[in-house]
Amino acid sequence: MSHLWRELASGFPGVEFQDPATDHILGEVERRLGQSVPPSLRELLLESNGIEDVYGTELVWAAEKILGENLAFRDSVEFRGLYQSFDALMFFGDNGGGDQFAFVRVPERDDVFVWDHETDSRTWVSASLEAYVRSTLTSDGEDWYR
């Protein structure tokens, strides 16, 4: 098995990896959300079930958190009255300040978007999960994508 994600982050001190996710939990994410996990995210989670930076920010959530957060966003009656639907998105990380990073799953896309919790905007931030991870790790603040 390749260790692309560990190799990518090895030059950044303080990056923490977790034990790998299982195919079972990834299948549960897909079944409960009704969407496939993007191949790059699946590969990362099977290598490390989430990645944290030196400040404790979860760049990529664990599979269980991906499932829980997405269900919470989709099922919230309060959110339905405040925001556009989240059904087409698969959130997988956040900036530590309220903004969430996501893949668009309907239609399926490999690039990463950010959802701004104050404006409900969904803005393109990187062409791939790899570019997102690199940008996040080389940034000097939580709002690197602005």
pLDDT digits (tens, 9 = 90+) for 58-79: 899 999 999 999 999 999 999 9
Number of domains the chain contains:
1
- 43 inside domain: yes
pLDDT, position 2: 56
For the segment 2-10, the average pLDDT, to the nearest whole number, is 78
Q: Is the pLDDT reported for residue 1 higher than 60?
A: no
Tokens of 114: 């950010």
pLDDT, position 88: 96
Distance CA 24, CA 37 (A): 12
- 15 inside domain: yes
- 111 inside domain: yes
Q: Is the pLDDT reported for residue 42 higher than 90?
A: yes
pLDDT, position 96: 84
pLDDT of 106-143, one tens digit each?
Answer: 999 999 999 999 999 999 999 999 999 988 888 776 66
- 121 inside domain: yes
Tell which residue, 142, 72, 48, 43, has the closest CA to residue 101.
142
Q: Residue 117: give the domain boundaries.
A: 4-138
Identify the helix (H) or strand (E) that includes residue 16.
Answer: strand 16-17
Prediction pTM value: 0.92
Tell which residue, 77, 71, 73, 87, has the closest CA to residue 29.
71
C-alpha distance from residue 94 to each of 1, 15, 91 (Å)? 28, 15, 8
- 68 inside domain: yes
How many Cα neighbours within 13 Å face the side chain of 36?
9
pLDDT, position 95: 87
Which pairs with CB-CB distance under 8 Å and at least 24 residues apart come from 42-46?
Answer: 43/2, 43/4, 43/5, 44/5, 44/129, 45/20, 45/21, 46/1, 46/20, 46/21
Q: What is the CATH number of the domain that holds 10?
A: 3.40.1580.10
Average pLDDT, the chain: 91
Q: Cβ(45)–Cβ(129) under 8 Å?
A: no
C-alpha distance from residue 34 to each of 26, 31, 92 (Å)? 12, 5, 15
- 93 inside domain: yes
